[in-house]
């Protein structure tokens, strides 16, 4: 689950995973390049929290969360490539968006334009309202993150936004919303719901900090060290991509186990 990054000033050729010809290589390129690993992790988190809260999780709630997460990550990557085309030579994610910019842009517009009317049809009004608030917060976060150096503050903001995404449906559908969860703390969520949300937040923090350590440890750095200005030379090598997939996979498994452990 990567954070927004700033353009690199490294010479070309330092980074992206090569696009292999095997099915496995192509599948990994699509999963990682298209941010589908992040979507899968957040869907698992949504399911785990919902299971502990004890409310149903309909397919439409999962669908709209997946679309929203994909729209956010894809918009961020396409904006990176538009502003700094050299990034396509440095990370697999940006290379993927550079190669498929046209189809991705068409798909993004269709998904964005179609998702809002569909949300009013298939989701309850309070879920749409919370989703709109979450979308606004995500847009403000990305604008802020692009102008801020990497550090603990950005990690905390990222984790808060991701955690808000996974509790979006339990908040909208839980019994506390109907009774006014803001005035009735006992309405939502049950103690298990708080535990599951906290577990996701801790796991997301571990995920981001793990990637940052790998970047700084010689695998090529996509992020800047704390206090470094925007534009500090950085890159992202194959080790970072593999570490990202491992970290996302471990977090995904942990969230699935958490959901299966719900009473």
pLDDT along the chain (263 residues), means of 10: 49 43 72 87 95 90 95 86 75 80 92 94 92 91 74 82 93 62 48 89 91 66 40 51 84 95 90
Residue 261's pLDDT is what?
94
First to last CA, the chain: 28
Look at residue 190 in the predicted model and tell me its pLDDT.
66
Residues sharing a CB contact under 8 Å with residue 150, sequence separation 6 or more, in sequence order: 3, 212, 223, 224, 225, 226, 228
Domain CATH for 76 = 1.10.600
Model confidence, pTM: 0.80
State which residues form the domain around 255.
23-260
CA distance 197 to 205: 12
Cβ-based neighbour number of residue 253 at 10 Å: 11
Q: Is residue 61 part of a domain?
A: yes
CA 5 to chain centre: 13
Three-class secondary structure of residue 233 per DSSP: coil
Residue 4 is assigned to a structural domain of this protein: no
Write b or e for each residue in 148-161: b if 16 or more Cβ atoms lie within 10 A of its Cβ, otherwise e.
ebbeeebbebbbeb
- On whether residue 234 sits in a domain, the answer given is yes
Task: State how many domains the chain has.
Answer: 1
Cβ atoms within 10 Å, residue 212: 21
Q: How many CB atoms lie within 10 A of CB 117?
A: 9
Residue 3 domain-assigned (yes or no): no
Q: Please state the separation of Cα 183 from the chain's center in Å.
A: 30
Classify residue 6: in a domain, yes or no: no
18 found inside a domain: no
The residues, ordered by sequence, that sit 6+ positions from 90 with a Cβ below 8 Å of its Cβ are: 8, 10, 12, 14, 15, 16, 235, 236
Q: Is position 5 within any domain?
A: no
In a domain, 91, yes or no: yes
What pLDDT, on a 0 to 100 scale, did the predictor assign at position 86? 74
């Amino acid at each position: 689950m990567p954070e927004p990054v700033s353009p690199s000033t490294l010479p070309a050729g330092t980074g992206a995973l090569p696009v292999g010809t095997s099915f496995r290589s192509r599948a990994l390129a699509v999963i990682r390049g298209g941010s589908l690993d992040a979507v899968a992790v957040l869907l698992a988190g949504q399911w785990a929290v919902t299971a502990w809260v004890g409310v149903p999780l309909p397919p439409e709630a999962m669908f709209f969360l997946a679309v929203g997460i994909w729209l956010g990550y894809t918009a961020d990557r396409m904006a990176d490539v538009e502003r700094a085309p050299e990034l396509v030579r440095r990370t697999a994610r940006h290379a993927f968006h550079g190669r498929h910019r046209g189809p991705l842009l068409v798909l993004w517009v269709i998904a964005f334009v179609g998702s809002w009317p569909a949300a009013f049809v298939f989701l309850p009004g309070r879920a749409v309202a919370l989703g709109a608030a979450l979308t606004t917060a995500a847009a403000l976060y990305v604008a802020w993150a692009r102008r801020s150096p990497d550090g603990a503050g950005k990690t905390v903001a990222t984790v808060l936004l991701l955690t808000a995404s996974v509790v979006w449906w339990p908040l909208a559908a839980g019994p506390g919303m109907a009774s006014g969860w803001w005035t009735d703390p006992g309405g939502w969520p049950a103690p298990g719901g708080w535990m599951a949300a906290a577990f996701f937040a801790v796991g997301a923090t571990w995920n981001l900090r793990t990637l940052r350590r790998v970047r700084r440890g010689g695998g090529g750095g996509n992020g800047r060290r704390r206090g470094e200005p925007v534009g500090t030379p950085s890159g992202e090598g194959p080790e970072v991509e593999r570490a990202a997939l491992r970290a996302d996979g471990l977090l995904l498994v942990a969230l699935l186990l958490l959901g299966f452990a719900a009473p």
